[in-house]
A and B are shown apart, each in its own frame.
Chain A
Amino acid sequence: MLRFIIRRSLLMVGTLFALLILTFVISHVAPGDPAALAAGPDATPDMIETIRKENGLDKPLPVQFLIYVSGVLQGDFGNSIHSGREVSRDLIQYFPATFELVLFSILFAILLGVPLGVLSAVKQNSWLDHTIRIISVSGVGVPMFWLGLMLQLYFALKLGWFPLGGQLDMMTDPPAPVTHLLVIDSLLRLNFAVAGEAFVHIILPALTLCFPALASIARINRAEMLETLNQDYITNARAQGISRFRIVGVYALRNAMLPTLSMIGLRFGWMLGGTVLVESVFDWPGVGLYAVQTAVASDFEPIMAVTLLLGFFFMLANFVIDICYGLLDPRLREA
């Protein structure tokens, strides 16, 4: 196991470096002059040159790359050419909001998707099974943007059950950060009113974001459960009089969870990189919107930092899933 962890860690570092080179090249060869965009539409050539020099954009590309890499190794991701803010400060602000949204989304997806998949398998060909399968298909077909707007217009505007958007009411001050995850920090600071408010604000965006994952998890879990429930050892367990709950919930589910775990890992990574539509609808101040705004403005350093960060967490999520595989299946540990 230790060798596996070391090997995967080294692979992650190599992949991240390759990602950094690729992002650097693409962002610097794409059309658009970030210095001109930052200077404004009326700027004179010397004003644009001032900004170009200040941000090191007048240096040769290999020099810019070396400066950037050396900065990254010291935790300095540079400055946004548009706002002048340190990119690391922006990431500390925006990334936890996205991470918390994705955490709750994946939690909702698991808590809802796994039981739905199990129910669908156990009640195969019933009306419940058919209903759950319709939900599974909808998860692939329903656009997230539309779903978010519908949830917002109905549950927030018409019924008034939820806020329209944002992480907190605009008159509420957030607690002093510990983890920078709002719900968790509020709980850690024993500020339950703010924790409740933050949780209520996250429900609609998390439900929107979790829907495709919930559908996939339900579908995969159903298929795996159906296959597992037809195995000889399950028949044997039934014959021995073991309770149905134990057979389904312990014996069958544990074996069916392996491919579901892979799906959870994949979905976690996709969610991290795909929050921009949900963040846009619900004005969630996360890294998805930040990434799009900086990409449209050709703001190199935030683009590269966000790509590295999302790439890292995508790899980390799959790494954790692989570890979980080993824990669930002793055969994989020994292999």
Chain B
Amino acid sequence: MKLRRRHFLSLTGAAIAATLALGTAQAFERSGGEKILVVAGRQPVKTLDPSVKYDASIRTMQQALYDALVKYEGTPPQIKPWLAEKWETSDDGLTWTFHLAKNAKFHNGDPVDAAAVVFSFNRTLKLNKGPAWMLNAFVKAENITALDAHTVQFKLDRPYSPFLSFLPWWYVMNPKQVMAHEVDGDMGQAWMNEHEAGSGPFKLKRFQQGKLYEVSRVKDHWKGFPYDGDMIGGIIYKLIRESAAQRAALMRGEADIVLGLSPDEFDAVAKLKGIKTSTQPALTAFGIKFNTKGKYTSDVNLRKAVAYAFDYESFGKIYNGRAKLQTSPFTDAIQGKIEVPGMPRQDLAKAREFLAKSQWPKGGIELEYVYVQGLEEERKMGLVLIDNLKAIGITVKMVPLTWPNMVARGSKAESSPDMMAIFATPVSTDPDAVAIQYHPSSWGKYYGSHFYENPEVTKLIEEARFTNGWDKRAKIYADIQKRIVADQPEIFGMMRERRVAFRDYVKGFAYSPVRMTTEIDYYPLYIGK
């Protein structure tokens, strides 16, 4: 059919008019008559492969598409049975036996059996990427066995108390689907980047790298859902990078949940009709790490002088009241956390007292403060440091760096800055996940940029890690917390509250502090009145 010019123009005009008419605010999206939730965030999903990588956006997708033996839920986070209905541990802590649910199925209908669990753990250990570090020093692939179709046994090399706390992040994949796409011995990695072989409550519908990632609900999911009826058809995770654009999308109804609002944008939307918010303290700790091997900050009295000069109330001001001061190196949701007596708070008299005991009793030195370029809150903390330390005769040089450059500088004691702003989120609620940050094995990692070394503390951390019985461990961790505070390897800062804003028809939002800053659990979400 030959298209005449005027037909072409009128059709184009009609298309533009129709599109403009659709540009007004609407409620949630619909597709094929089903309700679709839209989540807006700024972090792309680089891969879906559970054996290869995890971060906030990746793990949000992995949690939706896959199941694990156990799952974290609630505040405080509890480990709940999931693919494993129950489990036992031997008295010596070396053998763990998991009994699987018999009705669990992968999305293609294959049963989730013990062989699939064994394959999934073996694959992750063999590829030696992503979550492998959690278990690779404590269990070998050949010691993970299927006793029968629904029973899996792990024989650890030595008792490892945090073992169970890491299992929620080890997702189970369908071996047949994965290995059917193996190329050149890659164990299916190329395919698993943008496809899934899971049994989770959602399956992958669209993966448009750099734009959006859509999952559709598995209506007959083996675990069922915590709501009745067909309340949601799927979820789209859409990339909206700017805080202002996220706010605009929420207001226009183009996004139902937004994950990246600045404190001021968050406060603005919290007052709007039709918007609800969630602000809960996270596992994430913020600290200003000292380089304990540095020219100046190797002096514990200088570190204490700086810690007592700092205005801790500024955290609340910078985060518009949504920050809680730490009362221990462990954050609130970590098991075994105690209120450590004598946590530093601003006290200029004490600051001067400690300074007088240091090698620079009159100050007269400059300390470098390194923070993430573009992160306004960390920049403001630097300004607070400049102001506070002036009172004790110390100047501060603020150095913004990109995150990779910060990590590079913090990887060696010679180059690590005097002070570095660090947010650290442990991957589990087990106290070992935080304590290990103060062990020499963490040197070179961003949270180990203090190069803290106390042989007694190191010994206690190792002892607690391999001790069976919580009562014994709790006592050791209490001691560890007090000793770390006494050594002052950092300014122990705050637990920032996680800010999530959503439309009021979004129901079921369940926060768990063990999840990363912009990570959410899709499973309980639905659209209601």
A residues near B (Cβ < 8 Å) are: 31-33, 36-44, 46-47, 50-51, 82-85, 90, 93-94, 149, 152-153, 156-157, 160-167, 169-171, 190, 192-193, 195-197, 199-200, 280-283, 285, 289-290, 293, 296-298
B211 CB, min distance to chain A CBs, angstroms: 5
**B53: interface (CB < 8 Å):** yes
Contact of A163 among B23, B193, B409 (CB under 8 A): B23
Minimum distance in angstroms from A224 CB to a CB of chain B: 34
Q: Are B212 and A84 in contact (CB under 8 A)?
A: no
| Contact between chains at A164 and B133 (CB < 8 Å) | no
Q: In the complex, which residues of chain B have a beta carbon less than 8 angstroms from the beta carbon of A171?
A: 29, 31, 36
Q: Is B446 an interface residue (CB 8 A)?
A: yes
Q: Which of B154-162, B233-241, B384-392 sits within the interface?
A: B233-241
Q: Give me the 8 closest cross-chain CB pairs, A-B, nearest first.
A: A196-B15, A32-B404, A31-B408, A285-B210, A83-B46, A157-B248, A160-B24, A192-B11
- Bound-complex Cα distance A32 to B53 (A): 19
Count of chain B residues near A, Cβ 8 A: 66
User: Are A157 and B251 in contact, CB atoms less than 8 angstroms apart?
Assistant: yes
Query: Which stretch (B124-132, B173-181, B301-309, B325-333) binds chain A?
Result: B124-132
Flag whether B511 is at the interface (Cβ < 8 A).
Answer: no
**Are B241 and A283 closer than 8 Å at their CB atoms?**
yes
Q: Are B46 and A47 in contact (CB under 8 A)?
A: no
Q: List 21 A-B contacts (CB under 8 A).
A: A32-B407, A32-B408, A37-B407, A40-B54, A43-B129, A47-B129, A47-B133, A82-B46, A84-B193, A161-B23, A162-B23, A163-B23, A164-B252, A165-B245, A166-B238, A170-B236, A197-B15, A200-B23, A280-B242, A293-B44, A298-B404
Task: Report B's interface with A, CB cutoff 8 A.
Answer: 3, 8, 11-12, 14-16, 18-20, 22-25, 29, 31, 36, 38, 44, 46-47, 52-55, 127-130, 132-134, 136-137, 189-190, 193, 209-212, 236, 238-242, 244-245, 248-249, 251-252, 254, 402-405, 407-409, 411, 427, 445-447
Residue of A nearest to B127 (CB): A50
CB distance from B508 to the nearest CB of A (A): 22
Q: Are A199 and B16 in contact (CB under 8 A)?
A: yes
New contact pairs (5) apart from A152-B244, A192-B15, CB-CB < 8 Å: A82-B53, A90-B209, A153-B248, A156-B248, A281-B242
Chain B residues with Cβ under 8 A from A167's Cβ? 211
* A31 near B405: Cβ-Cβ < 8 Å: yes
Residue of A nearest to B8 (CB): A192
Asked whether, in the complex, the Cβ of A33 is within 8 Å of the Cβ of B46, the reply is no
**Residues of A with C-beta under 8 A to B404:** 31-32, 37, 296-298
Enumerate chain A residues within 8 angstroms of B244, measured Cβ to Cβ. Answer: 149, 152-153
Q: How far is the CB of A275 from chain B (nearest CB, A)?
A: 14
Contact A84 B52 (CB under 8 A): yes
Q: A165-B240, A195-B12, A196-B12 are in contact. Are A36 and B411 (CB under 8 A)?
A: yes
Alpha-carbon separation in the docked complex, A161 to B54 (Å):
39
Residue among A37, A38, A163 having the largest count of chain B Cβ atoms under 10 Å: A163
Contact partner, B240, options A193, A199, A283, A293, Cβ 8 Å: A283
The reply to whether B15 and A195 form a contact with Cβ atoms under 8 Å apart is yes
Of A149, A192, A290, most buried by chain B (CB within 10 Å of CB) is A192
Interchain CB contact under 8 A, B427 and A94: no
Contacts of B11 in A (CB 8 A): 192
Are B133 and A196 in contact (CB-based, < 8 A)?
no
Q: Which residues of B contact A33 (CB under 8 A)?
A: 407-408, 411
Q: How far is the CA of A224 from the CA of B411 in the complex (A)?
A: 57
Which of chain A's residues has its CB closest to B46's CB?
A83
A297 to B402, CA, bound (A): 9
What is the bound-complex CA distance between A106 and B375, given in angstroms? 33
B132–A285 contact, CB under 8 A?
no
* Residues on the A chain within 8 Å of B236, using CB: 170
Are A196 and B18 in contact, CB atoms less than 8 angstroms apart? yes
Q: In the bound complex, how far is the Cα of B111 from the Cα of A264, in angstroms?
A: 62
Q: Which residues of B contact A42 (CB under 8 A)?
A: 133-134, 427, 445
* A190 nearest CB neighbor, chain B only: B3
Task: Give the chain B neighbours of A192 by CB distance below 8 A.
Answer: 8, 11-12, 15
Which of A36, A169, A193 interacts with B15 by CB under 8 Å? A193
Cβ contacts under 8 Å, A93 to chain B? 209-210
**In the complex, chain A residues whose CB is within 8 Å of the CB of B44:** 293
Cα distance A167–B23 in the bound complex, in angstroms: 14
Q: Are A40 and B130 in contact (CB under 8 A)?
A: yes
Q: When the two chains form their complex, are residues B245 and A85 in contact, meaning their CB atoms are under 8 A apart?
A: no
Bound CA–CA A153/B402 (angstroms): 29
User: Of B8, B38, B44, which is in contact with the most chain A CB atoms at under 10 Å from its CB?
Assistant: B44
Closest to A200 in B: B19
Bound Cα distance from A40 to B46, whole angstroms: 13
Given A156-B248, A171-B29, A192-B15: A44 in contact with B20 (beta carbons within 8 A): no
* Closest Cβ neighbor of B208 among chain A residues: A285
Alpha-carbon distance between A79 and B407 when the two chains are bound, in angstroms: 23
Cα of A142 to Cα of B19 in the assembled complex, Å: 30
Chain A residues near B193 (CB-CB < 8 A) = 83-85
Task: Take A31-B405, A44-B133 as given contacts and tell me if A161 and B210 are in contact as well, using a CB distance cutoff of 8 Å.
Answer: no
Contact yes or no, A296 B46, CB < 8 A: no
Closest residue on chain A to residue B433 by CB atoms: A42
Distance to closest chain A CB from B221 (angstroms): 24
In the assembled complex, which residues on chain B have CB atoms less than 8 Å from the CB atom of A38?
53
Chain B residues with CB below 8 A from A195, complex form? 12, 15
Query: Which residues of chain A come closer than 8 Å to B29, judged between CB atoms?
Result: 170-171
Q: Are A50 and B129 in contact (CB under 8 A)?
A: yes
| From A37, A165, A297, residue with most partner B Cβ within 10 Å | A165
Min Cβ gap B83→A in Å is 24
Residues of chain B within 8 A (CB-CB) of A83 are: 46-47, 193, 209
A195 shortest CB reach to chain B, Å: 7
Assembled-state Cα–Cα distance A285/B429 (Å): 37
Question: Do A157 and B252 contact each other (CB < 8 Å), given the known contacts A47-B133, A149-B244, A285-B210?
Answer: yes
Q: How far is the CA of A42 from the CA of B46 in the complex (A)?
A: 18
